């Protein structure tokens, strides 16, 4: 992986490691140092890789290498093709690559980068896709290599003590509806759609947790709409569970999304979730979330109000579906099946 910092793809890997480390020999390889280490809670050896030749020697000791991210993917393929390392290689495709790169880098760079990344994937023995929708999106990748596995998270209660009372911090009245989002603030995340929908007449208060290249633009949008008493920004949270647990409703207004782990995290905590009606969410969370029309964002207000009035019923219903579909144990079992099938090919 690129680093051991806390992010969606690394949380997925962490949950796989938690579930399978007691059954298989595992080691974590990473490229860059980071301020935080999402893997510090597991007793698994980790090694920093500084050049391809270092990785080549390590890979000789393993039957299967599972990479995540464009740089790790490229490095693993380099070792496989040039150094003729015999282990099987697998990667998880966490995003819709052209859409993802477009919202961050623009059209030209997204096309060049997307084509390069897709070309790298062709060299892998197995590819894990996160949804049927993504499987259709990547129609050009070999069907025999693709496996659909939904992400999952640990369903154990891990709620920390509240470090901040956000209603008190921002003077939000008891009858106000507290909505929130937690995201890397890019155009793709759709936070601007929520801000453009809110008015001072609504008793809806919105807290956005996160940093990113769009944060300054979002702050300016709040100022332009005179919503400084309705919309608030806080920095990225290493442990967002305390923040999420204080919300009346969690919002996921993305224009594009690979999966959406924060949907699972909020649902686990009993917080109703509202997502945009993009295809990936309609497939994954059709019965587990409420939705609003991304082409008509004004519908969001009524959905938020409904979620607040029916919070108890919705949270119980959604949590039951979460436990049935999206736990880390269910996800890890499916990954283990893929690993076992690859291991038989090594023998």
Predicted confidence (pLDDT) per residue in 268-281, tens digit: 888 999 999 999 99
pLDDT digits (tens, 9 = 90+) for 191-208: 999 999 999 888 999 999
My answer on whether 71 and 196 are in the same domain is no
d(CA 96, CA 98): 6
Check pLDDT > 90 for residue 181. yes
Among 51-65, 254-268, 286-300, whose mean pLDDT is lowest?
A: 51-65
My answer on whether 187 and 240 are in the same domain is yes
d(CA 6, CA 10): 6
My answer on whether 85 and 118 are in the same domain is yes
My answer on whether 149 and 174 are in the same domain is no
pLDDT attached to residue 196: 95
Rg (CA), the chain: 21
Q: Is residue 173 within 8 Å of 230, Cβ to Cβ? A: no
254 located within any domain: yes
Mean pLDDT of 221-230: 94
Q: What is the pTM of this model?
A: 0.85
Q: Strand 204-209 and strand 273-276: pairing?
A: unpaired
334 located within any domain: yes
161 located within any domain: no
Domain extent at residue 28: 8-153+328-346
My answer on whether 189 and 149 are in the same domain is no
pLDDT digits (tens, 9 = 90+) for 24-45: 889 999 999 988 888 988 889 9
My answer on whether 182 and 318 are in the same domain is yes
Q: What's the angle, vertex CA 325, arms to CA 320 and CA 326, rounded to 5?
A: 100
Check pLDDT > 70 for residue 162. no
My answer on whether 122 and 185 are in the same domain is no
pLDDT attached to residue 26: 92
My answer on whether 178 and 317 are in the same domain is yes
**Tally of helices (H runs) and strands (E runs) in the chain:** 15, 12
d(CA 139, CA 13): 25
d(CA 179, CA 184): 17
159 located within any domain: no
Mean pLDDT of 210-218: 94
181 located within any domain: yes
My answer on whether 316 and 268 are in the same domain is yes
Q: Is residue 189 within 8 Å of 183, Cβ to Cβ? A: yes
My answer on whether 171 and 128 are in the same domain is no
My answer on whether 143 and 182 are in the same domain is no
Check pLDDT > 70 for residue 157. no
My answer on whether 126 and 178 are in the same domain is no
107 located within any domain: yes
Of all residues in the chain, the percent with pLDDT exceeding 90 is 59
160 located within any domain: no
38: domain CATH number is 3.40.50.2000
2 located within any domain: no
Q: What's the token pair of residue 160?
A: 């920390």
Domain count for the chain, please give it.
2
């Amino acid at each position: 992986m690129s680093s051991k910092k806390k992010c969606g793809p690394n949380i997925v890997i962490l949950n796989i490691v938690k579930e399978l480390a007691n059954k298989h020999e595992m080691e974590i390889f990473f490229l860059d140092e980071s301020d935080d280490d999402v893997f510090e809670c597991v007793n698994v050896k980790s090694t920093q890789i500084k050049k391809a030749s270092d990785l080549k020697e390590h890979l000789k000791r393993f039957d299967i290498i599972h990479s995540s991210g464009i740089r790790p993917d490229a490095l693993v393929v380099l070792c496989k093709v040039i150094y003729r390392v015999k282990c099987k290689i697998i990667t998880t495709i966490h995003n819709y690559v052209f859409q993802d790169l477009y919202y961050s880098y623009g059209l030209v760079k997204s096309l060049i980068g997307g084509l390069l990344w897709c070309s790298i994937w062709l060299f892998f023995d197995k590819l894990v896709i996160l949804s049927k929708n993504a499987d259709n999106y990547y129609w050009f990748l070999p069907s025999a290599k693709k496996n659909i596995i939904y992400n999952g998270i640990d369903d154990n209660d891990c709620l920390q003590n509240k470090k901040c009372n956000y209603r008190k911090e921002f003077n939000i009245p008891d009858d106000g509806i507290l909505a929130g989002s937690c995201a890397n603030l890019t155009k793709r995340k759709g936070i601007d759609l929520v801000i453009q929908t809110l008015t001072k007449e609504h008793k809806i208060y919105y807290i956005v947790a996160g940093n990113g290249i769009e944060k300054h633009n979002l702050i300016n949008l709040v100022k332009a709409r005179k919503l400084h008493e309705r919309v608030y920004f806080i920095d990225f949270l290493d442990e967002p569970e305390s923040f999420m647990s204080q919300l009346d409703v969690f919002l996921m207004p993305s224009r594009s999304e690979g999966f959406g782990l924060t949907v699972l995290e909020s649902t686990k905590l009993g917080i109703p979730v509202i997502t945009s009606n993009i295809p990936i969410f309609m497939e994954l969370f059709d019965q587990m979330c409420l939705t609003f029309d991304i082409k008509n964002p004004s519908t969001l207000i009524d959905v938020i109000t409904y979620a607040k009035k029916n919070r108890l019923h919705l949270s119980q219903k959604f949590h039951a579906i979460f436990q049935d579909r999206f736990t880390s144990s269910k996800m890890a079992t499916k990954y283990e099946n893929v690993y076992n099938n690859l291991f038989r090919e090594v023998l």
